[in-house]
Structure 1
């Protein structure tokens, strides 16, 4: 949700940025790929929940996926690819994944810049998967490896592959950025020989910590259950796992977020700076939880702000 002050402020700023007032491209193409094909996702022996797709509004493309059984990637190929790629991880509080197979505004905008995008629909930790709270990390690792395994086919530079996650998807992106090398599943095919570490990362209004007092209660319950131990909380808290090999990371949040406390973003930035990782923190005033890519035909300034960081730290090459 956005209040009027925030929209007026960024709308005025957008008017000063004609270079980003682009329309959604009709020439980029989207295909959907089963993430684990031809195998089944690992650890699903005890999973009984039935996958559901729900409409979130009157827009037929405004969908969310619950109890994901077959995770997938929606690949958007730009008309003029520049060799870079981004893995996009949507949010949903670990209850659902708010994503559409028809694509969205962020992947459409990135395609206008020549970036090939891969939007991830991932499995959810409360559904009984063997990996528990790391099940979404399994899917994110597999996605990064799949992107690099297809770099020749898609004309990508495997050294220019980033990740951006939103809300709970920011937590998944953070898991990937800090634990890409962790073996969370046994290799299933040659795809798993590829590196899962992103070149650069962005975490937008992210769930970061699972410790008190700033844990997002809904994500905490879905990921770790009703009464998690402190050890489990610490293991799932991204800020406690930043290390020297964490990629450059942009962290964005809002000062008035009623869903995920803005201290999550601050904790992440502090951990990045403590480990001397290239990073930026932006907290926008007047927005709540989440904000759009466009308003009145203009791309809002947060988009090129994030993109500039991604470009400077590896996406551009």
Structure 2
């Protein structure tokens, strides 16, 4: 969600890669671990289309998995896996197996469908954990902007599956054990087109043409409970697209009910966090997943 970029996820990824992997490229190359990439793993179908994720398995895997929500403006763009690997390197170098999850995209599919899709992806990954070399109860998730929103929805609305349904996938739980959300919208009711608080830039996102009840139902802020996954929030205090109030309000709710959380605020940063602030946030993200997904 970036009003200066027609392909917001691509712009965020490009900024991330250029900053994190470019800080000391020459020094980083000798220590980068080998990563095996499995592309286009199907986790479901809708309207005759396959829903897929790519798997990035480091040679020295630590047994934990992290889902990356491939989403900007609730549009899930395909990128070459080698390009995504630049974004995911800090995690794979730390031993995490990463799953780049794509969902049904706006405007064909709305936010409720995107949330449903990524929930199913968690179930499938947990169901096939042995195949991917991970522990089923060591799953984290992260995303940027709309991807951060989807990450928080997974962290605040997880369930243990329904043993009475015919689909074996739906009998598997979709809870995650850790969340990292960058510049994430947490209250859709003030972003949707019909809201008096909606900004002109929000009209550029068809996914936000949502009725108020659906917006509330798909806002992480309305679902915070004491059993939510530990959440790291990262936001810029000069973000005029998703104001930092979104992160501060859900932080306050996490604090109220006792959810483990942290909010890192970047002074002067807008919706696209860059430079040393991005590198700092990336280190914090890797540490968060280490702390909450790995055994002591």
Structure 1 residue 269, shift from structure 2 partner: 0.9
Deviation string 1:35-75 (CA, Å, 9 cap, x unpaired) is: 335xx23xx38xxxxxxxxxxxxxxxxxxxxxxx4321110
- In the alignment, structure 1 residue 268 sits paired with structure 2 residue 274: no
Q: Distance in 2 between matches of 1:120 and 1:235?
A: 22
Higher helix share: 2
Aligned to 1:244: 226
Structure 1 residue 97, shift from structure 2 partner: 3.3
Aligned to 1:18: none
Please tell me the root mean square deviation across aligned C-alpha atoms, in Å. 3.3
Which secondary structure does the structure 2 equivalent of 1:77 belong to? Answer: strand
Is the Cα contact below 8 Å between 2:75 and 2:104 reproduced in 1?
no
Q: Distance in 2 between matches of 1:315 and 1:135?
A: 31
> Quick one: structure 1 residues 112 and 144, their matched pair in 2 at CA, closer, same or farther if it must change by over 3 Å?
same
Aligned to 1:253: 235
Structure 1 residue 223, shift from structure 2 partner: 4.0
Q: Distance in 2 between matches of 1:219 and 1:277?
A: 34
Q: Distance in 1 between matches of 2:78 and 2:173?
A: 27
- Normalised to the residue count of structure 2, the TM-score between the two structures is 0.78
- In the alignment, structure 1 residue 33 sits paired with structure 2 residue 40: yes
| 1:61-210 superposed matches below 5 A | 69-97=49-77, 99-102=79-82, 103-128=84-109, 132-181=110-159, 189-210=167-188
Structure 1 residue 120, shift from structure 2 partner: 0.9
Q: Distance in 2 between matches of 1:100 and 1:274?
A: 42
Which secondary structure does the structure 1 equivalent of 2:43 belong to? Answer: coil
Aligned to 1:22: 28
Q: Distance in 1 between matches of 2:57 and 2:239?
A: 33
Aligned to 1:312: 291
Aligned to 2:15: none
Structure 1 residue 313, shift from structure 2 partner: 2.2
Structure 1 residue 312, shift from structure 2 partner: 1.8
> Quick one: structure 1 residues 120 and 204, their matched pair in 2 at CA, closer, same or farther if it must change by over 3 Å?
same
| 1:212-227 superposed matches below 5 A | 212=190, 213=197, 217-218=202-203, 221-225=206-210
Is the Cα contact below 8 Å between 2:64 and 2:134 reproduced in 1?
yes
Deviation string 1:219-242 (CA, Å, 9 cap, x unpaired) is: 8741444xx23x233212211111
Structure 1 residue 26, shift from structure 2 partner: 6.3
> Quick one: structure 1 residues 182 and 314, their matched pair in 2 at CA, closer, same or farther if it must change by over 3 Å?
closer
Q: Distance in 2 between matches of 1:211 and 1:89?
A: 22
Aligned to 1:280: 262
Most deviating of 254-263 and 270-279: 254-263
Which secondary structure does the structure 1 equivalent of 2:100 belong to? Answer: strand
Is the Cα contact below 8 Å between 1:35 and 1:139 reproduced in 2?
no
Aligned length: 267
Is the Cα contact below 8 Å between 2:160 and 2:172 reproduced in 1?
no
- Normalised to the residue count of structure 1, the TM-score between the two structures is 0.73
